[in-house]
Amino acid sequence: MSQYTNIDFNNKTILITGGAGFIGSNLAFYFQENYPKSTIVILDMFRSGETLSNGNLKSFGHYKNLLGFNGIVISGDINDKKLLKNLEKNYKFDYIFHQAAISDTTATEQDLMIKTNVNAYEDLLKIAIKHKANMIYASSAATYGDAPSPQTVGCENPGNVYGFSKLMMDNITAKYIKKNLDISIVGLRYFNVYGAKEFYKNKTASTVVQFGHQILGGNTPKLFEGSDKIIRDFIYIEDVVQANIKACNPKKSGVYNVGTAKPRSFQDIADILQKELGTNLGTNYIPNPFVGQYQFHTQANIRSTIKNLGYKPRFSMEDGIKAYVPEIKRLYKTEVKNGK
């Protein structure tokens, strides 16, 4: 049994959308390792060559995130209503972890963003209700935009269509919670997540892995000017998994922040990495092209998350980076140097 919950997920059927992505694949292995008799169904629109207008990949799902996984893998698009109908008919889900989304905050395709993030979520929620499956889904700190710290649920001001789409998901949730359904619905507003299995997000992967690979390549890490004053709430992947598991049995359905409430600077990341990697390359400061459209301070207000989910962050940034460094080194050797 897991340290996070007293729920026994053995003999339960669990759907993870976006299961070949960063957070989804970590959840898949959590269930596989802790509950070997659970049935895990992954739905993911695995990457193709298709890109968005900003040049980034439309889907970051990658088979390498699932090497060693022995559950059910389905390739498909959550916008495909026929596919959703088949899922509804062929399975009886107990839990749905909805991680699939257009998650690129710089994407400008408003039509695709709303269809994928908002409308498909409601379609999945209807399946959850029919199956009496608890729904846990990925919301985002992007809903806050430039709202002042600490960011608190109810004080949203999205600055891009991605943040807007996640806020619309949360609004749908509020509407369904009022119906007093037999299921719980929990939205988790992730702050800056880093850790294993994020590498295939390419340019949208965290600065932790990007700085790590710059340093391993013998290069001085590139930081925006004033990076000692650019403060973010960085959260290690294992604490995000913890929040998802604890959200399966909440005291109260709703939307909750998932962060550490202890923001750190980009300079801190570079300094901790250099200490862990045994280098002293200094830092290279470059002008910040995003002034005016950039969050300079994020800090999650996690009081209600602690109270209603029993969540408590376990990893400081020092702990998280230390735990992550062996994987950063492995990726550098197998992926970066080989240019795969």
Catalytic residue IDs: 162, 201
Q: What is the DSSP letter of 186?
A: E
| 242-255 per-residue burial string, b: 16 or more CB within 10 A, e: under 16 | bbbbbbbebeebbb
Instruction: Quickly count: other Cβ atoms within 10 Å of residue 90's Cβ.
Output: 9
- The rounded distance, in Å, linking the Cα atoms of 235 and 296 is 16
Contact (CB, 8 A) for 209 and 331: yes
Residue 70: DSSP 8-state: -
Residue 313: name the closest of 245, 249, 258 by CA: 258
- 42 forms beta bridges with 16, 73
- Torsion angle in degrees (nearest 10) through CA of 240, 245, 251, 253: 70
State the Cα angle at 64 between 321 and 218, rounded to 5°. 45
- Estimate to the nearest angstrom the gap between the alpha carbon of 68 and the chain centroid: 21
Tell me if residue 147 falls in helix, strand or coil.
coil
Q: What is the largest CA-CA distance in the chain?
A: 58
- How far is Cα 294 from Cα 236, in angstroms, rounded to an integer? 22
Residue 95 near residue 15, CB atoms below 8 Å: yes
Residue 77 CA to residue 72 CA, distance in Å, equals 16
